[in-house]
Copies of this chain bind each other. A is one copy, B any other.
Amino acid sequence: MPKPSSTSIASQDYLEQIFHLIALKGYARSVDIAANLGVSQASVSAMLKRLGADGLVVYEKYRGVILTPKGSDLAQHIIRRHEVLTRLLRHFGLDEETIYRDVEGMEHHISAQTLKAFTLLANELDQNPALCRTLKRKVRGK
């Protein structure tokens, strides 16, 4: 009876990309999902089947994929969380490559409480350029 977790780390990453592609081009193709995530197309097929079984996408073989309302809500939540984290890390003057990799990993382990704290902190930093300058200076050189 292992309840289908339905929101594994990998599932979240796929949902995120599917949502992005649909927003950007109107549809999400396997080939693009694969490229964006750096996995094989075969892996995408397998995951779409799983997401379909979990009721997060409607998937018809050879016919592409769309998000269910449930999948879409979840994707938007995932993306907002990703954006908050990115906004926070940008305050430290890290390079975008590093920010992306760290956010892509960290995002799956942030509770609602911590996300709220990070959101508020990012807001505070927005209003405190002096502190941001100090941090950026210390982060890069010694």
Contact = CB atoms under 8 A, between A and B. Distances in A.
Interface of A: 89, 92, 94-95, 98-99, 101-102, 104-106, 108-111, 113-114, 116-117, 120-121, 124, 131, 134-135, 138-139
Copies of this subunit: 2
Contact of A89 (B98, B114, B120, B131): B114
B114 A92 contact: yes
17 contacts: A92-B120, A94-B113, A95-B113, A98-B113, A99-B114, A101-B111, A102-B109, A102-B111, A105-B108, A109-B109, A116-B139, A117-B139, A120-B135, A120-B138, A120-B139, A121-B135, A124-B135
Given A102-B114, A114-B102, A116-B139, A121 B109 contact: no
A104 to B, nearest CB: 8
A99 to B, nearest CB: 8
